[in-house]
Amino acid sequence: MDKDRIAFLEEKARDLRVSIVKTLHRSQSGHTGGSLSAIDMVTALYFQVMRHDPENPLWEERDRFVLSKGHAAPAQYVALADAGYFPKEDLMMLRRLGSHLQGHPDSKGTPGVEVCTGSLGQGLSMANGMALGLRLGNRQSRVYALLGDGELQEGQVWEAAMAAAHYRLDNLCAMVDANALQIDGEVEKVMNVGPIGEKFRAFGWNVLEIDGHDMEAIVEALETAETVKGKPTVIVARTVKGKGVPRFEHKASYHGVAPNDDELNEALICLGCFED
Partner 1 sequence: MKATREAYGETLARLGEENKDIVVLDADLSGSTKTAVFAKKFPERFFNMGIAEANMVGTAAGLAAVGKIPFVSTFSIFAAGRAWEQIRQSVAYPKANVKIVPTHGGVTVGEDGGTHQSVEDIAIMRAIPNMTVIVPADAEETKGAVTAAAAFKGPVFIRLGRNKVPRVFDEGHIFQIGKGCEIAAGTDLTFVTTGIMTAQAMQAATLLAPEGISARVVHIGTVKPLDKELVLKAARETGAIVTAEEHSIIGGLGSAVSELLAERQPTPLVRVGIKDRFGTSGKAEELLKYFGLMPEDLVEAARSVLARK
Site for partner 1 in 42-71 (CB under 8 A): 64, 66
The verdict on 204 binding partner 1 (CB under 8 A) reads no
CB-based contacts of 235, cutoff 8 Å, min separation 6: 41, 173, 174, 175, 176, 208, 209, 210, 218, 221, 222, 225
Residue 97 or residue 136: which is nearer to partner 1 going by CB? 136
Provide the minimum distance between the beta carbon of 101 and partner 1 in the complex, in angstroms, as a whole number: 16
For the residues of 5-72, what is the DSSP string, one character each? HHHHHHHHHHHHHHHHHHHHHHHT-S-HHHHHHHHHHHHHIIIII----TT-TT-TT--EEEESSGGG
The verdict on 159 binding partner 1 (CB under 8 A) reads yes
Q: How many positions of this chain bind partner 1 (CB under 8 A)?
A: 35
The verdict on 87 binding partner 1 (CB under 8 A) reads no
Q: Pick the binder of partner 1 from 4, 137, 275, 276 (CB under 8 A).
A: 137
Residue 3 or residue 108: which is nearer to partner 1 going by CB? 108
**Residue 109 main-chain phi, psi, to 5 deg:** -120, -30
C-alpha 268: how far from chain center: 22
The verdict on 129 binding partner 1 (CB under 8 A) reads yes
Which residues in this chain contact partner 1 in the complex, by CB under 8 A? 64, 66, 106-108, 114-116, 118-119, 121-134, 136-137, 139, 155-156, 159-160, 162-163, 166-167
